[in-house]
Structure 1
């Protein structure tokens, strides 16, 4: 089955195949059961004819068989009627045949164990018969006689009944199958209507006619529509962030460019002005790129193990600040993972741990743990702490102008936390320095 088939065609074809096998199996079983039933009825009727022969048969004093001229079953006296009878006297090697056998070479059985019934299908001369044979010791009269009574019936009547029933059966089953397929088609039309509605809404979203999937759908589809809406919203937020970042970047670069243009009028101050404004423009570009690259909340991101990321940042910073001999301590469960863009996690924790190492005396501690409300991240140091917890989160604001830096790191972290609908707090650490506390809600 090729991928181009519609879902309705697949289901209808599958239902048709299952229905075909079911109908065929049921029809064959019913047909066989009916044939067995009809066969049993015919054998029962033949057995009754044998009993009729037993009731009318007589043996004289010499052991010869004596039969009446007529029977209650008229077909036994009508030549070629399809019902034929024979009584074979084993002791005298003589045989009596009914008048219906005139011109018929019927295959009567002449030998059989006394007291036994034999029901069988026999053929001779291209004609098939159903036969019932019974052997008995006849003891009425002076001399007992061993008799084998055999009755044959032309199979034509049996075959006719079976064929008529089979024709009727398959006609009804075929009609029922077509009716069921038509019903299945109508049910599929009704059952797949929500999928067609979703497809229509997606087309309207692509065409700009509506902003999201708005319809109410069954439980099986509600998860799909919710995820699609989340994906649409996430993509629009991302596009908005890039547009805003470009707008902010263009606006922010106007001032440094104006300063450089003015510095061209004073060549003596040009080198210093270029160095200052290039540094400032570099900070602006880094900040706006950090904002634009923020992944934000996403339910589609894979869960990222936190411990390996924190360990990689720790190893890198340990080399950078090797001259200060800072002891980095990472407290994070090995199995802790969170749905977050790995780049966002590196940007967020890298900036925080770098900032803590810059201000720390000898120790930096990083903690990560899962809570009922979401994920808790804390970075502590034993430095002087924050003197101003508000302005330090703004772009190009540093806690101490004497310490080298651009004033970009915490601002980028704040933007990243906001994009993940989290909360960032600047607190006093138990180690005596600063603590940055981040709470991220579950996606």
Structure 2
């Protein structure tokens, strides 16, 4: 599996890179800080040795340098001990070197201005030394005597101390890094375990072993699993609707087909029977296709502006029923929008408003508003109103047999409203005509 295909691999690799970078940077900073600290400490010790030389040095009456035979620092008396001292009497061109210089040739500093300290690293014959030098004007009996005091220490001891510290530090840092990486890996495994459980549940859903995601998950995943269950539910409802539509279609077409077969034996009645039954079959097909294609309650549908839909339907109906000169009023807030499929909205509102315009005498009014997380639509007309409100919602039942149509419109609307888990009511308008009231809940 490639790294880019796995969140787990990405997180572990990213954590490892960040951890190694941080530990390397921190280790380098600590190493430099320790090295600078030890170097400062070494120079301070060399400075103390210079002061020790100053305390023991004397100038005789002739202006010559006189040094004691031994010092409290025993390494100055031990040959090749690694600590070496030198005092130069600049006026007499004489110098004194500690007994530790026997067999060694340390590169002493001999030209330091009076009152100045010099700290540096000096190398000779493949050996490196830490050096501290100080120039001083000694008050002699006749005149000041300039002296240069220089102390050198073999840097190998300093290097060993630094190497021991670095080895110990990097060993512990490496161990701590491995422990942290292991801990982080375990934490990632624990943190990503809900995703693995979701994946297992989805596989079981695909294999038909369960119907939806059943487990309880953290808040960050709960929204995902909830939406996934909604999609699964909507898809199953849609598949069920397709199957039912096909079943109802097959069942509903049996009667018209039987009528046509019977009409074959009576040639005189055949044209009228064919015309009537073909129209009936067309209505049945339209009704069942409308039921099957209904999107239903859609959580993921975009918000649809309701007012433009109403105005477009009104403009079309005014052309269709131009001979009636209807007063078609739309009462809908301009900013009203709702989560609904555009095709469902046009199918639902188009059928209801068409029925209102078909039965109206002079006026049709459409109102739309929201209340208690529901979209409410009321379509009123001043026609004759409804008789049997329950029967009208069934296929091929019409309120007025003299009005053209086959009773399909309100039946389709009823199915569409039901697919949106809404409510459709047929009432009497304030003008004495019909009122269709539709209430759709929020997705």
Q: What TM-score, normalized by structure 2, do the two folds share?
A: 0.96
User: Is 1:196 aligned to 2:226, yes or no?
Assistant: no
Q: Residue 138 of structure 2 contacts residue 144 of structure 2 at CA under 8 Å; is this kept in 1?
A: yes
User: Is 1:414 aligned to 2:411, yes or no?
Assistant: no
Q: Residue 86 of structure 1 contacts residue 150 of structure 1 at CA under 8 Å; is this kept in 2?
A: yes
Number of equivalences: 443
Query: Counterpart of 1:248?
Result: 248
Q: For 1:270 and 1:400, locate their aligned partners in 2 and report how far apart those are by CA, in whole Å.
A: 27
Q: Which stretch of the first structure deviates more once superposed, 180-189 or 286-295?
A: 180-189
Query: Counterpart of 1:425?
Result: 425
Structure 1 gap segments, 5+ residues each: none
The structural deviation recorded for 1:33 is: 1.3
The structural deviation recorded for 1:185 is: 1.9
User: Is 1:271 aligned to 2:288, yes or no?
Assistant: no
> 1:135-174 to 2 correspondence within 5 Å?
135-139=135-139, 141-174=141-174
Query: Counterpart of 1:387?
Result: 387
Query: Counterpart of 2:61?
Result: 61
Q: Residue 62 of structure 1 contacts residue 143 of structure 1 at CA under 8 Å; is this kept in 2?
A: no
Q: For 1:128 and 1:241, locate their aligned partners in 2 and report how far apart those are by CA, in whole Å.
A: 91
The structural deviation recorded for 1:244 is: 0.5
Q: For 2:377 and 2:132, locate their aligned partners in 1 and report how far apart those are by CA, in whole Å.
A: 95
> 1:178-197 to 2 correspondence within 5 Å?
178-197=178-197
Q: For 1:165 and 1:282, locate their aligned partners in 2 and report how far apart those are by CA, in whole Å.
A: 92
User: Is 1:17 aligned to 2:17, yes or no?
Assistant: yes
Structure 1 counterpart SS, 2:253: helix
Structure 2 counterpart SS, 1:88: strand
- Cα deviation 1:4-63 (Å, max 9, x = unaligned): 532211111111001001110110111111111111221111111111101110001121
User: Is 1:87 aligned to 2:87, yes or no?
Assistant: yes
> 1:294-443 to 2 correspondence within 5 Å?
294-443=294-443
> 1:99-110 to 2 correspondence within 5 Å?
99-110=99-110
User: Is 1:133 aligned to 2:145, yes or no?
Assistant: no
Q: Which stretch of the first structure deviates more once superposed, 177-186 or 416-425?
A: 177-186
Report the aligned-residue RMSD: 1.7
- Cα deviation 1:124-180 (Å, max 9, x = unaligned): 333221111222221254443121211111111111111111111111111111111
Q: For 1:313 and 1:360, locate their aligned partners in 2 and report how far apart those are by CA, in whole Å.
A: 16
Shift of the 277–3 alpha-carbon distance from structure 1 to 2, 3 Å rule, reads: farther
> 1:107-118 to 2 correspondence within 5 Å?
107-118=107-118
Query: Counterpart of 2:124?
Result: 124
Structure 2 gap segments, 5+ residues each: none
The structural deviation recorded for 1:336 is: 2.0
Q: Residue 106 of structure 1 contacts residue 124 of structure 1 at CA under 8 Å; is this kept in 2?
A: yes
The structural deviation recorded for 1:259 is: 0.8
Q: What TM-score, normalized by structure 1, do the two folds share?
A: 0.96
The structural deviation recorded for 1:432 is: 4.0
Q: Residue 61 of structure 1 contacts residue 143 of structure 1 at CA under 8 Å; is this kept in 2?
A: no
Structure 1 counterpart SS, 2:425: strand
Q: Residue 356 of structure 1 contacts residue 364 of structure 1 at CA under 8 Å; is this kept in 2?
A: yes
> 1:205-244 to 2 correspondence within 5 Å?
205-244=205-244
Q: Residue 359 of structure 1 contacts residue 384 of structure 1 at CA under 8 Å; is this kept in 2?
A: yes
Q: Residue 365 of structure 2 contacts residue 380 of structure 2 at CA under 8 Å; is this kept in 1?
A: yes
The structural deviation recorded for 1:431 is: 4.2
